[in-house]
Amino acid sequence: MSELNKNDQERVNETFEKGVDNFTEADLEKVRKDGDIAVEKSSKLGAQFESFKLTWGLLQDYWAGDYKNVPWKLLAAIGFAVAYLVSPLDIIPDFIPILGFVDDAAVFSLVIKAFESELDDYKEWKKQQGK
């Protein structure tokens, strides 16, 4: 998958930061309802597909009440990333072949980088649960 130019990467970073800061519980519930669309679009994330699966799994375990040791900022970041994936209105529109999902993948990359230790804790918890 192609990479973003510097200007687009800066726009993605700014969008991510603002989106996470303004993300609400109502937004998280909307993400939950848009789950089928998110799962369908996630296959187009290239190398970040595994990041989607990890973060989506965390949300699923959180919603089920199985994994509650999650800071709100992480839930907001994952929720924003999924909402961004589902939205056709983003920095690089999804209808543009190949490039259309580069910015979506970049957002998931930001989640992984920003919350690496929390996601490592989740992976360890999953291993202990036999998941």
How many angstroms separate the CA atoms of 125 and 32, rounded?
22
pTM assigned to the model: 0.89
For 65-120, what is each residue's pLDDT tens digit?
A: 999 989 999 999 999 999 999 997 777 777 777 777 888 999 999 999 999 999 99
For CA atoms 62, 37, 19, 8, the dihedral sign is: positive
